[in-house]
């Protein structure tokens, strides 16, 4: 009886492992990408905490850190196809948020597009 239970558990584990591998992760358009402000693995898990912390520092204390700003994320990760992090299943923000079934509320106030205005200074 114990052997039968062990065999059934082993079969269930093998079957479920194969099932999750077949789904895989979404293919995401990372825009121009490059070196992120933090390790990408860390960012996948913790970016929302970083954004919330930066939001609180900016709104409550007036501290603006351009490196950790949402604008900086968009400038780097907006698609080269449509200049946005939203709008398509493979868009940088929308792709992962759809996959994880998490609502994105950043862009109710902030633009999801890369800034097209270039500031030129005469020296």
Give residue-wise pLDDT tens across range 49-100: 999 999 999 999 999 988 889 999 999 999 999 999 999 999 999 999 999 9
pLDDT computed for residue 2 by the predictor: 57
As given in the structure block, the two tokens for residue 74 are 């968009």
Residues facing residue 84 across a β-bridge: 113
β-bridge mates for residue 113, sequence order: 84
d(CA 107, CA 86): 9
Digit-coded pLDDT (tens) for 18-56: 444 446 788 999 999 888 899 999 999 999 999 999 999
Does this model's pTM top 0.85? no
**Is the per-residue pLDDT at 12 higher than 60?**
no
Alpha carbon of residue 32 to chain centroid: 14
| pLDDT value at residue 24 | 76
Mean pLDDT (the chain) is: 81
Amino acid 45: pLDDT? 93
Report the 10 Å Cβ neighbour count for 70: 20
Q: What is the pLDDT at residue 5?
A: 53
Quote the CA–CA distance of 28 and 99 in Å, as a whole number: 11
Dist CA 49 CA 43 (whole Å)? 9
């Amino acid at each position: 009886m114990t052997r039968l239970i062990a065999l059934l558990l082993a079969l269930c584990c093998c079957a479920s492992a194969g099932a999750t591998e077949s789904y895989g992760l979404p293919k995401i358009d990372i825009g121009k990408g490059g070196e992120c402000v933090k390790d990408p693995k860390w960012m996948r898990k913790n970016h929302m905490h970083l954004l919330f912390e930066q939001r609180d520092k900016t709104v409550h204390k007036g501290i603006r850190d351009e490196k950790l700003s949402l604008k900086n994320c968009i400038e780097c990760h907006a698609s080269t196809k449509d200049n946005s992090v939203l709008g398509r299943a493979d868009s940088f923000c929308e792709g992962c948020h759809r996959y994880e079934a998490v609502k994105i509320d950043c862009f109710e106030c902030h633009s999801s597009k890369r800034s097209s205005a270039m500031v030129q200074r005469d020296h």
